[in-house]
Structure 1
Amino acid sequence: MMKIYRTRDKLLTRADNMEEGSWVCLTAPSEAEVRQVAATLDIEPDDLFAATDPEESARISLEDGYTVIIVDIPYQVPGSGEGIYSTIPMGILLTQELVVTVCSVETPVIGDFTSCRVKGFSTRKKMRFVYQLLYRAATMYQQELRLIDRRRQALEKNLSGDLRDSDLVELHGLESTLVYFATSLRANATVLDRLTRYKRLEQYPDDRELLDDVIVEIRQAIEMTSIYRDDIKGTRELFSSILDNRLNNAMKYLTSITLLMAVPTVVSGLYGMNVSSEGMPFASSAAGFGIVLGLTLVICVVTAWFLHKKHML
């Protein structure tokens, strides 16, 4: 889908033509739309298609007459659980006349601009627009990271109850998300570092300050990702320790019960042997059966008391 926007009197309006100072927004574009934009703006179609490739890495390149900027942004996979994300590329192409954004899905990074929720936004100020997009992407990473940490804390609260397999699977999903975030954030930081060195891109003092803010936000997101990865690693190890401890306790109790059951089994086995009754205690007594049962019960009670004192029962 292709939409063209233009800022007039601080208001964002739809436009019909790709005029100077416009913003061409491509969301999951068709091949015909990509080729139309490429032909109109003299852009290589492959540079537009690159932003729709989920395997494309973040980069910046200076082409003949335009600049290609590709960064990674968070994306929640449909049907995944809360806090489970991946990353997808978002392309920004700067020409002498306008800005083109390309993304394979609708994302809040671009949606905030189309909904006029960003202050000081103008399609005419191309570099400021680019930095505002990058700033929104950085803050979105931080929002999702806080959501991931809250979900981890919620899983930790279930440690005292029954641990389900789904909890361990979800924890693994959160850890995988942080791996994707860490990789994408480092790549985005490299893009920003190269932006500060390019003289071809015209930058004003206010734009430079905004770029510095973006760099700070990206670094903060990288630090948050590292901290939360360590937290999840600790939570996973705690899960493993608790499961091992519960298994050890279960095996200890089962061993104690087996030991208690062995007492009457041994006694009944001895009296069940096919030998003369003259040598068996209480065999000739009328109350022998009850005496044997009583002695067996006493031995079991003493054994249970001993195991209890040793914290094994």
Structure 2
Amino acid sequence: MLRIYKTNCEALRELSLASLEKGAWLSLTAPDADELTAVADLTGVPLDALKAALDEEERSRVEIEDNYILVITNVPTLRDSYSYDTLPLGIVLTKDHFITVCLESHQVLEEFAAEGPRSFSTYKKTRFLFQILYKSALLYLKYLKQINRRTDEIERDLRQSVKNQEIFQLLELQKGLTYFTASLRSNGIVLERLLRLRSNKELQHLIALYEEDEDLLEDVIIENKQAIEMVEMYSHVLSGMMGAFTSIISNNLNLVLKFLAAVTILLAIPTMVASFWGMNVDGLPFSGENGFLAVVLIAVAAAVISAYGLWRRGLL
């Protein structure tokens, strides 16, 4: 899907491809071949550059050419309650246009389209780029806090659990942290390279770095480094929890089995007593009129004595 936006002082206008203007933002979300070809023809950006972000395994990088700069960054995404992943987002800066390419609709871009000109300007391409990177870094931090909260919830459940469901949830969270680690490190390399572009005068027509833009980029770098530190810390915590709670589940299962074994013993003793008096032989005591009551009392007494012995040994 292709949507074209342009900001002015009052509103965010949506344009058509036929009425494309300078300073417009072309947002490509899961584009088809016709949309990619049309954007390539109108902006002069090669198809290969536009298709780069459509590869799920594409790593973050910066590609500088004479008429455009391609920035690929990985943004975080939430698949379900415990499944976190990253998604490549391609950002292309040309002299006249700002282009984003993504495999699917993403929260970072949707927020800009919803907020309108009060949050960004399609004319200020460099600042818009850094604002996208900043929102992406903040989203990483938000998801990392969610992972920490969900880890605490799973920990509470695991204290009494003998099932594997919570372990599988921890595995999903650990996998998401692994994706975050790789993406944040590659994003950090991209940010450092963008910071070095401020001294390149030849690229001023594509990416002009003003003092406010440099401050914003430095904020993005700080947030990205904080996210890297957090994801490393949470990864170590999760790794330790996985081993600890596997042992806890095994121990909880052993406690259940121990209790069941003790109950089996208690049930076996009255059954054994009753079996003796159920034999079809002569000479058994208490075979008179009150024999049934006497056998029941003997069985109960034997069960109580056995229960006391098991309790003293910590089996009950």
User: TM (normalized to structure 1)?
Assistant: 0.83
Question: Which residue of structure 2 aligns with residue 243 of structure 1?
Answer: 249
Deviations 1:223-245 (A, max 9, x none): 22223333433443453233222
Asked if the contact 2:8/2:117 (under 8 Å) is kept, the reply is no
Question: Which residue of structure 2 aligns with residue 60 of structure 1?
Answer: 62
Question: What code does the residue aligned with 1:195 have?
Answer: L
Question: Which residue of structure 2 aligns with residue 133 of structure 1?
Answer: 132
Deviations 1:247-283 (A, max 9, x none): 1112222333444456567778999999x99xxxx75
* Alpha-carbon distance between aligned partners in 2 of 1:286 and 1:116, rounded to the nearest angstrom: 92
- 1:14 paired to 2:14: yes
What SS does the corresponding residue of 2:115 show, helix, strand or coil?
coil
Question: Which residue of structure 2 aligns with residue 302 of structure 1?
Answer: 305
- 1:311 paired to 2:314: yes
* Alpha-carbon distance between aligned partners in 2 of 1:9 and 1:118, rounded to the nearest angstrom: 7
Compared CA separation, residues 292 and 2, structure 1 to 2 (3 A): closer
Question: Which residue of structure 1 aligns with residue 53 of structure 2?
Answer: 51
For residue 181 of structure 1, report the CA deviation from its aligned partner. Answer: 1.4
Aligned pairs, how many? 305
Compared CA separation, residues 285 and 309, structure 1 to 2 (3 A): closer
* Alpha-carbon distance between aligned partners in 2 of 1:194 and 1:203, rounded to the nearest angstrom: 13
* Alpha-carbon distance between aligned partners in 1 of 2:308 and 2:160, rounded to the nearest angstrom: 29
Question: Which of 234, 238, 241 lines up with 1:228 in the alignment?
Answer: 234
For residue 75 of structure 1, report the CA deviation from its aligned partner. Answer: 2.1
Asked if the contact 1:182/1:225 (under 8 Å) is kept, the reply is yes
Asked if the contact 1:10/1:122 (under 8 Å) is kept, the reply is no
For residue 110 of structure 1, report the CA deviation from its aligned partner. Answer: 0.9
Question: Identity over aligned residues, as a percent?
Answer: 36
* Alpha-carbon distance between aligned partners in 1 of 2:286 and 2:208, rounded to the nearest angstrom: 111
Asked if the contact 1:18/1:24 (under 8 Å) is kept, the reply is no
Correspondence 1:88-167 to 2 at 5 A: 88-116=87-115, 119=118, 121-159=120-158, 165-167=164-166
Question: Which residue of structure 2 aligns with residue 215 of structure 1?
Answer: 221
Question: Which residue of structure 2 aligns with residue 28 of structure 1?
Answer: 30
* Alpha-carbon distance between aligned partners in 2 of 1:12 and 1:272, rounded to the nearest angstrom: 92
Question: Which of 245, 253, 256 lines up with 2:259 in the alignment?
Answer: 253
For residue 112 of structure 1, report the CA deviation from its aligned partner. Answer: 1.7
Question: Which of 37, 40, 45 lines up with 1:38 in the alignment?
Answer: 40
Compared CA separation, residues 125 and 273, structure 1 to 2 (3 A): same
What SS does the corresponding residue of 1:215 show, helix, strand or coil?
helix
For residue 34 of structure 1, report the CA deviation from its aligned partner. Answer: 0.6
* Alpha-carbon distance between aligned partners in 1 of 2:273 and 2:129, rounded to the nearest angstrom: 86
**Superposition RMSD in Å:** 3.1
* Alpha-carbon distance between aligned partners in 2 of 1:309 and 1:14, rounded to the nearest angstrom: 79
Compared CA separation, residues 284 and 266, structure 1 to 2 (3 A): closer
Listed as ranges, the gaps of 5+ residues in structure 2 are none
Asked if the contact 1:112/1:118 (under 8 Å) is kept, the reply is no
User: TM (normalized to structure 2)?
Assistant: 0.82
Asked if the contact 1:71/1:89 (under 8 Å) is kept, the reply is yes
